[in-house]
Amino acid sequence: MGVNLNFVIFFAVVVFVNCGNDFDFNLPAQHVKYFLFRRPDIAEKCRADKNCPYNLMAQNLDECWGYEPNCNFGKRSYSRKTIKCSKKAPDIEKSRNAFYYNADFGLIKKHNASLVELCSPGDASLRCSESFEYCYAKNIFFNFANLKHDKNGKKYRSDIIGKGDVGGRCKFHERKFKNLALDAYDGYLQSWAAEMKYFQRFPSFQLNDSYCDVIFDQPTIVIKLDAGINMYHHFCDFINLYLSQHLNGSFHQDVDIILWDTDASPYFDIFRETWLAFTTKPLIDLQDFDGKRVCFREVMFPVLARKVFGLYYNMPMVSCAFYLFVILWL
């Protein structure tokens, strides 16, 4: 299929909400109503608080992104209004739908539909989407005894995590896990299969100082990155991280971000300022945890830059144009 893209893009594709105040949104004004629809809990607080700057808007929320369970790609969705297909397309409606599911918020709907609970109930939890392309966990640990960064500092290593190096205290659904792993891509920048395949149940695990060398109490993002010296490749990271924030339903900036980079040299990033759209904290390098057991209370493993049929990279496309109005709020 031909590609005829007339994207209006204001880099980067990242918008977040500060967590210091439920209503202190770091969002373009035109996005707030969609976010409130996505988060009815925050919308309810806003309706009940006359000091909420969006109190009036929150009284009547009827517009959505399009991927929410109570919303579809219809007249109410953001995308329905913004996707414009070529009049030369043999079937405009079919083309519009194909674009929506391959290059727009419909991609999030597909990820949501494939999410599987792999470890629950218990203190810990783990859920991942198809092929381990996205994962979210609570109260888990990683043991980086095999990192040995000084001796084995090669880029794109997949041998860091082995048996006994990752897990939590919960009921592990082994059959679901094996089914998810059957068709998993093991490419370094395609999935988290290499890091999650040894996940197991640890009945004795306690998230405390006696078990953990390092504890992340705040929400954390762990991300593997494409080339930081190339704008095209690196913005694949940022765009898919934004997609993952939609999957997670959280846009605040009070998060720790760990760069899962196994190279002996520090990750070189000429677009480092872009991270300010995601976090107010300094970035953390993986080599800081060499030989340590690291525990997370809440951690997200986002969709990666080179996901098969992903967003921006490896993206199948039809002849449509999408008015993408995204602003970098630093």
Q: What is the DSSP string of 37-81?
A: HH-HHHHHHHHH-TT-TTHHHHTS---B-S-STT--SSTTBHHHH
Mean pLDDT over residues 164-169, rounded? 97
Please provide the average confidence, as pLDDT, over all residues in the chain.
85
For 103, half-sphere exposure in the C-beta direction (CA atoms, 13 angstrom radius) is 23
Residue 328's pLDDT is 42
pLDDT at 304 > cutoff 90: yes
Are residues 80 and 174 located together in one domain of the fold?
Answer: no
Closest Cα partner for 47 from 27, 29, 253, 37? 37
Are residues 137 and 194 located together in one domain of the fold?
Answer: yes
Assess if residue 4 is contained within a domain: no
**DSSP at 252:** -
Assess if residue 3 is contained within a domain: no
Assess if residue 1 is contained within a domain: no
What b-and-e string marks burial along 184-195, b requiring 16 or more CB atoms within 10 Å of the CB?
A: bbebbbbbbbbb
The CA distance from 26 to 244, in Å, is 17
- The Cα-based distances of 286 to 38, 98, 196, 323 in angstroms read 33, 38, 16, 37
The CA distance from 293 to 135, in Å, is 20
Are residues 267 and 145 located together in one domain of the fold?
Answer: yes
Assess if residue 189 is contained within a domain: yes
Residue 314's pLDDT is 73
Of 5-14, 163-172, 199-208, which range is least confident?
5-14
What single letter denotes the amino acid at residue 170?
C
Residue 24's pLDDT is 67
User: Predicted confidence band at 17 (pLDDT cuts at 50, 70, 90)?
Assistant: very low
Site of tokens 């989407």: 129
User: Predicted confidence band at 325 (pLDDT cuts at 50, 70, 90)?
Assistant: very low
User: Predicted confidence band at 318 (pLDDT cuts at 50, 70, 90)?
Assistant: low
> Is the bond leading into 121 cis (omega within 30 degrees of zero)?
yes
Range of the domain at 221: 118-301
Taking only the tens place, the pLDDT of each residue in 207-243 is 999 999 999 999 999 999 998 999 989 999 999 999 9
Are residues 165 and 290 located together in one domain of the fold?
Answer: yes
pLDDT at 327 > cutoff 70: no
- The Cα-based distances of 34 to 67, 87, 102 in angstroms read 11, 29, 21
Which residues, 6+ apart, have CB-to-CB distance to 44 below 8 Å? none
For 121, half-sphere exposure in the C-beta direction (CA atoms, 13 angstrom radius) is 0
CA 40 to chain centre: 20
Judged by DSSP in three states, 174 sits in helix
Residue 240's pLDDT is 94
Neighbour order of strands in the sheet with 166-168 = 200-201, 166-168, 140-143, 293-296, 214-216
Residue 25's pLDDT is 67
pLDDT at 64 > cutoff 60: yes
Residue 166's pLDDT is 98
Residue 256's pLDDT is 98
Are residues 142 and 98 located together in one domain of the fold?
Answer: no
Assess if residue 248 is contained within a domain: yes
Assess if residue 229 is contained within a domain: yes
Of 14-23, 38-47, 126-135, 253-262, which range is least confident?
14-23
Contact 211, 205 (CB under 8 A): yes
Are residues 262 and 164 located together in one domain of the fold?
Answer: yes
Are residues 151 and 272 located together in one domain of the fold?
Answer: yes
pLDDT at 8 > cutoff 70: no
Mean pLDDT over residues 115-120, rounded? 94
Query: What is the pTM for the complete model shown?
Result: 0.86
Residue 14's pLDDT is 34
Cα end-to-end distance, the chain, whole Å = 37
User: Predicted confidence band at 292 (pLDDT cuts at 50, 70, 90)?
Assistant: very high
Q: Residue 23 region, left (φ>0) first, then alpha (ψ -120 to 50), else beta? A: alpha
Closest Cα partner for 311 from 96, 116, 108, 156? 108
User: Predicted confidence band at 320 (pLDDT cuts at 50, 70, 90)?
Assistant: low
Are residues 89 and 160 located together in one domain of the fold?
Answer: no
Of 7-16, 53-62, 77-86, which range is least confident?
7-16
Residue 217's pLDDT is 97
Assess if residue 191 is contained within a domain: yes
**Count: domains in the chain:** 2
Are residues 156 and 297 located together in one domain of the fold?
Answer: yes
Are residues 161 and 285 located together in one domain of the fold?
Answer: yes
